[in-house]
Structure 1
Amino acid sequence: MSTLFSIRTLFILIIIAVIAVIAFFILPVSVPIIIALITALFLEPLVRLLQARAKLKRNLSVFIVFLLFLTSIGIIGYFLTTKVITEGINLVENAPSYINEVNRVWRDFQSDMNNASEDLPPEFVTEISLQVDKFLYDLRIYLTDLFNIQNVKNIFTNIPNYLVSFLVYLIALFLFLIDMPRLKAGLYSHLKEETAAKVKFMSSRLSYVIFGFFKAQFLVSVIIFFTSLIGLLFIAPEVALLMSFIIWLIDFIPIIGSIVILGPWAIFHFITGDIGLGTQLSILAIVLLVIRRTVEPKVMGSHIGLSPLATLIAMYLGLKLLGILGFIVGPLLLIAFNSAREAGIIKMNFKI
């Protein structure tokens, strides 16, 4: 008999709901292990490829892939760290000149305001001055709180925790790579032959689609990176590479994205009187925002097998329900549901 949800499907949905509730409480403290598992799933094809092509044992293949992964992280981390430190030192050295420039512009602005307000009502001029002073005071308090010694102290205090989490991540990644076949065999041993076949189909389909999902994210991020790099090479070539990388990272934040970097940067140049540079940065910010909001759903849809509309809806609902994490979790849940439906685990054959 065709029904909307069979008893078996309802049982599976209940199990998924229970797992989701448990995961809600476990996920925050299991991030390094979860990331290690995801990384292991991505590196698993490389391990199998090395086994097949070089005729190596799995343990040796895992060791080589893991070593290459560590080397890549080390090289990227070294160059990024040295570049950030160099640019940070330059920023600190030039900070007094930036402050003096802002003070000069503010004095000129006050002088122009006094000259232009001679024919204006005194109450209006007073209110404008009060609002500007209040804004500058709030900005100073915010910057003071942001860069106070306590925040810097907290960052350095948490460095051991970050190192421990990173060490746990690396160990878990290596162990996941070693035990991946055993973990899969243990999972399938608890399933019936028919169910195991469906789960294998679903996992292979899910792996393919998830790989396509992150591949799509990477392709979009590459477009964002090179667009920002080309733009900044004309606008601010001395910091083009560093700022392009920072924009590339920040742009993963939904809705906000590169505006967080380019917005304040443009406002600073508007305040200091460099209207041309501020306008160029504003245009670049708009271009990057348009690229992400238009290209992303299409690229994601083509690589994960979802229509641009379904991808956009999944991203939006995930963002509203789960925050920034939901921007990625939303499409992944939709992918998992479609994969389970294609595998026959979830059946929805009904007509109204």
Structure 2
Amino acid sequence: MHIKAMLKAVILCIVIFLLLKYLAPLFSPFITAVFISIILEPVIKILMDKLSLSRKFSITIALLFFCIIFFAIIYFLIHNIYKETLSILKDIPNFYEKINYFLQKYNVLINKYFHINEDGQNITAIDTMKVINIFINSIAKLKDGIIKSILALPDIFMYITFSSAAAFFILKDRKIIIDIFKRNVPQNIFKITLKINRSIINIIKTECMLIVISTLQTITGFFILNVKYALLIGIFSGILDILPLIGPALIFIPWALYSIICGDVIFAVSLICLYIIIGITRQMLETKFISGKLDLHPLIILLSIYIGLKFFGFLGAIFGPLFALIIKMIYEESINQKQVNI
């Protein structure tokens, strides 16, 4: 019984995976439209209830403000990230000086506590410089990517306009679409789909809110600490917050260790304090919005992230845990239905 339920869940996830892998690029504007409609539905309800506006007019206002805010954010991010990227590229000689200073301190500590021979230290230094060269190349690629994004703005404008138009009709005919789906899909599948849909939407909303708050906290903290390139590093840290269990620690911990080795202990302590504040805030908000948490074992989350990254790239960090959650929910629902039938 349990094996059949698990097989059913796995097969459904494989079907969803194949659809996402091969058909999602073709229907991406409509998928984006669905996400836009999910985001705007609460806003539309507020406009209808508080201002007594018609649903059609509320949808138009909500979509108009969404487009204005979206393009304002895109302009702000591209403009400022491009400026900071150019500043980093101009500051490369200074980076080399800092790295050389760090390597000297690092080699002294290694020799003092571990007694590694000179050849071992040289190998370590060469590897570190390779990492720095990779970092510099990544910054150069980021600059090229931003330039491509600027050139692609007309295409982005058309894409968002098309998605917004599709979102308008999805929002306007929401009840009709749900009724058609309900009439043409078996009742048990409809209930499971509805339950999965609500859970996934809840998780995505909660995670997006937590990531935005974490990113704003990080950027604000970096500005207070007078960190150069605060916006660029803060946004990157916020993106890393997508990864459960690891997240911004990939930036904060190595950076704090680097600062300690270079003798800037006060800055290292400040970074750790900022990291702790961000972590505590996230835990408090996760506790408040407990229904949006992934109810999965940490090992399953890590495994699903790894598999997701292999198949979907960076977006796999989101899709992987969601697939694991879908398998779990379908499995539990199948077991519950079997028990009810018995």
TM-score normalised by structure 1 residue count: 0.67
The structure-2 alpha-carbon separation of the partners of 1:177 and 1:210, relative to structure 1 and needing over 3 Å to count, comes to: farther
Q: Deviations over 1:6-62 (max 9, x none)?
A: 9xxx99997776455333322355444323212212313433443455454444332
Q: In the alignment, residue 322 of structure 2 is paired with which amino acid? A: V
Q: Provide the rounded CA distance (Å) in 2 between the counterparts of 1:24 and 1:272.
A: 46
In the alignment, is residue 46 of structure 1 matched against residue 33 of structure 2? no
Q: Provide the rounded CA distance (Å) in 1 between the counterparts of 2:222 and 2:74.
A: 23
In the alignment, is residue 276 of structure 1 matched against residue 269 of structure 2? no
Measure how far apart 1:188 and its partner are. 3.1
Residue 322 of structure 1 is matched in structure 2 by 308
Measure how far apart 1:75 and its partner are. 3.2
Unaligned residue ranges in structure 2 (runs of 5+): 310-316
Q: In the alignment, residue 319 of structure 1 is paired with which amino acid? A: I
Residue 131 of structure 1 is matched in structure 2 by 123
Of the candidates 185, 200, 209, which is equivalent to residue 176 of structure 2?
185
The structure-2 alpha-carbon separation of the partners of 1:235 and 1:345, relative to structure 1 and needing over 3 Å to count, comes to: same
Q: In the alignment, residue 142 of structure 1 is paired with which amino acid? A: I
Q: In the alignment, residue 179 of structure 2 is paired with which amino acid? A: Y
- Are 1:5 and 1:348, in contact at CA under 8 Å, matched by a contact in 2? no
In the alignment, is residue 24 of structure 1 matched against residue 12 of structure 2? no
Q: Provide the rounded CA distance (Å) in 2 between the counterparts of 1:244 and 1:269.
A: 18
The structure-2 alpha-carbon separation of the partners of 1:30 and 1:345, relative to structure 1 and needing over 3 Å to count, comes to: farther
The structure-2 alpha-carbon separation of the partners of 1:314 and 1:38, relative to structure 1 and needing over 3 Å to count, comes to: farther
- Are 2:59 and 2:171, in contact at CA under 8 Å, matched by a contact in 1? no
Measure how far apart 1:317 and its partner are. 5.2
In the alignment, is residue 168 of structure 1 matched against residue 159 of structure 2? yes
- Are 2:47 and 2:53, in contact at CA under 8 Å, matched by a contact in 1? yes
The structure-2 alpha-carbon separation of the partners of 1:20 and 1:273, relative to structure 1 and needing over 3 Å to count, comes to: closer
Unaligned residue ranges in structure 1 (runs of 5+): none
- Are 1:247 and 1:258, in contact at CA under 8 Å, matched by a contact in 2? yes
Count of matched residue pairs = 333
In the alignment, is residue 247 of structure 1 matched against residue 240 of structure 2? no
The structure-2 alpha-carbon separation of the partners of 1:61 and 1:262, relative to structure 1 and needing over 3 Å to count, comes to: same
Measure how far apart 1:70 and its partner are. 1.3
The structure-2 alpha-carbon separation of the partners of 1:240 and 1:23, relative to structure 1 and needing over 3 Å to count, comes to: closer
The structure-2 alpha-carbon separation of the partners of 1:196 and 1:161, relative to structure 1 and needing over 3 Å to count, comes to: farther
Measure how far apart 1:276 and its partner are. 3.3
Q: State percent identity of aligned pairs.
A: 17
Q: Provide the rounded CA distance (Å) in 2 between the counterparts of 1:309 and 1:183.
A: 29
Measure how far apart 1:257 and its partner are. 1.6
| 1:96-111 pair list within 5 angstroms | 96-103=93-100
Q: Provide the rounded CA distance (Å) in 1 between the counterparts of 2:94 and 2:246.
A: 30
| 1:193-212 pair list within 5 angstroms | 195=186, 199=190, 208-212=198-202
RMSD: 4.9
- Are 1:319 and 1:330, in contact at CA under 8 Å, matched by a contact in 2? no
Measure how far apart 1:185 and its partner are. 2.4
- Are 1:233 and 1:240, in contact at CA under 8 Å, matched by a contact in 2? yes
Q: Provide the rounded CA distance (Å) in 1 between the counterparts of 2:218 and 2:255.
A: 14
- Are 1:257 and 1:289, in contact at CA under 8 Å, matched by a contact in 2? no
The structure-2 alpha-carbon separation of the partners of 1:57 and 1:336, relative to structure 1 and needing over 3 Å to count, comes to: farther
The structure-2 alpha-carbon separation of the partners of 1:12 and 1:333, relative to structure 1 and needing over 3 Å to count, comes to: closer
Q: Provide the rounded CA distance (Å) in 2 between the counterparts of 1:296 and 1:173.
A: 31
Q: Provide the rounded CA distance (Å) in 2 between the counterparts of 1:144 and 1:229.
A: 22
Q: Provide the rounded CA distance (Å) in 2 between the counterparts of 1:228 and 1:283.
A: 11
| 1:116-155 pair list within 5 angstroms | 125-143=117-135, 145-147=137-139, 152-153=143-144
The structure-2 alpha-carbon separation of the partners of 1:33 and 1:315, relative to structure 1 and needing over 3 Å to count, comes to: farther
